[in-house]
Amino acid sequence: MKKKVSVSGLALTLVLLSACTDSEETASAEDAGNAVDGIEAYIQDFQTEAEQLLNVEEDLQLDFEEDLANDSEGALLEGTGQVASNLSDREEILQSLDSIHSQINQELNTIGQAIEHVDAEELPNDIEEFSVGLSDYGAELSQFIDEYRHNLSTQSEYFETLSSEEADFADITDGIENVNDTHRAMNASWYELEDTLINMQEILANFEMPTPEEEGE
């Protein structure tokens, strides 16, 4: 099991992180330890947000039905209905995933600085391997976000089409087919994301960062 640094906690991590980003030369072994904890928390956050993405996505059909039922009130025409909220909620989640991904990168950056500047004896032997492994998987998180954004964009364009007064029945059915095709293509990306997060969690679980107390003994 990974040993935790004595100063843990997300809030403190964030404070330390912001300090790290201010100066490239301030990364210490302790900073690296905090960054490891931070990454663990961010991966959990990423998972939670991704789950939420799936949940909101699942509501789209009901939201669509509700908007069609309230079509005379302009739900689709004016983009004021449930579908618009659903799309907007998922865009917000994507922004949140973007942000989490950036924060993971920042933490990795901190670890990179520690590798560069801290005496090698103060850091675990496998920290570089740990950092590279997480970086590779971090790139996959970014790829997932891009793919989902494309998927969401297809959906937005579809509903934009339906907001036109000229839209007809074929627009509804053809568009549904297109949305479903793009959605199905996302299926593999979801499994890849799952594997990525599981692998990142495994790397974290198998990595030990010495605590400051241990260093002093």
List of residues contacting other proteins (CB under 8 A): 47, 50-51, 54, 57-58, 60-61, 64-65, 68-69, 71-72, 162, 165, 167-173, 176, 179-180, 183-184, 187-188, 190-191, 193-194, 197-198
Distance CA 126, CA 206 (A): 10
Q: Report the residue number, 58 or 129, with the smaller CB distance to other proteins.
A: 58
Distance CA 215, CA 217 (A): 6
Nearest distance from C-beta of residue 56 to other proteins, angstroms: 12
Q: Contact at 8 Å (CB) between 20 and 31? A: yes
Nearest distance from C-beta of residue 121 to other proteins, angstroms: 37
CA distances from 131 to 36, 41, 110 (A): 9, 16, 10
Nearest distance from C-beta of residue 182 to other proteins, angstroms: 9
Q: Report the residue number, 156 or 211, with the smaller CB distance to other proteins.
A: 156
Nearest distance from C-beta of residue 115 to other proteins, angstroms: 29
Q: Report the residue number, 168 or 214, with the smaller CB distance to other proteins.
A: 168
Q: Report the residue number, 51 or 116, with the smaller CB distance to other proteins.
A: 51
Q: Contact at 8 Å (CB) between 199 and 137? A: yes
Residue with tokens 């939670």: 48
Nearest distance from C-beta of residue 139 to other proteins, angstroms: 19
Distance CA 189, CA 143 (A): 9
Nearest distance from C-beta of residue 55 to other proteins, angstroms: 9
Q: Report the residue number, 109 or 189, with the smaller CB distance to other proteins.
A: 189
* Chain center to CA of 131: 18
Quote the tokens at residue 208: 């030990």
Q: How many helices (H) and strands (E) does the chain have?
A: 7, 0
Q: Contact at 8 Å (CB) between 144 and 196? A: yes
Q: Report the residue number, 22 or 165, with the smaller CB distance to other proteins.
A: 165
Print burial letters for 74-86: b (CB count within 10 Å at least 16), e (below 16).
ebbbebebbbbeb
